[in-house]
Amino acid sequence: MDAIVQKAMIKWPNVPNCFGWLGLDARGNWYLRDAAAQACGGFASGVPGAKGALLRHEGWIAFIGRNYEADEHGAWYFQNGPQRVFVELEATPWIWRIQPDGSIVAHTGKRTTLSRDWTDEAGRVFLSTDLGFGLVHTQDVADAADAIEQGRWPAPLRIDSREIPARFGFIANPQARH
């Protein structure tokens, strides 16, 4: 967490949490959800306009990534100064990118190490890592398949997508929990 964020948390300890204003899609993109986007429905609803506006500012994206964490219940948030901005997840809290050297990097830029691989009924590939559980980016599924075929990764286990949040301890929609 950034030092400036830690200082702000000490200076203003009682800032209320924020819900519904930030989403993470299945490709690792952040979306800002204003009141109009929220009125369209949940982030993962598929309703046109519900996702909000794609965040493109590299500085903000990096800031969010450095200050992205989960609370004790498995709800993910971005610590924006003294305020927790809870994140609606389209898929999982982490989106993995497979690098040319075979290493795994999260959508936040953090490197991680594979513990286990999984596939669901739709053929999506998921990884358990030392950072947590996440979805392999759609553009990197072929690289994951190569790693499996070459024996660098074990044969994936099957998992029902409906079981994923409870099994891996995360909340896709923190606002619904509150």
Q: Give pLDDT tens digits for 4-14.
A: 657 665 665 67
**Would 165 be classed as within a structural domain?**
no
Assess contact for 19 and 174: CB atoms under 8 A.
Answer: yes
Are 73 and 98 in a shared domain?
no
Mean pLDDT of all residues belonging to the chain: 93
User: Nearest-CA neighbor of 13 among 76, 84, 73, 71?
Assistant: 84
User: Nearest-CA neighbor of 159 among 178, 141, 137, 133?
Assistant: 133
* Sheet with 30-32, edge to edge strand ranges: 53-54, 30-32, 18-24, 83-89, 76-80, 68-70
> The domain containing residue 135 runs over which residues?
94-159
Are 14 and 80 in a shared domain?
yes
Are 85 and 9 in a shared domain?
yes
**Would 164 be classed as within a structural domain?**
no
Q: pTM here?
A: 0.91
Task: Indicate the number of domains in the chain.
Answer: 2
**Would 143 be classed as within a structural domain?**
yes
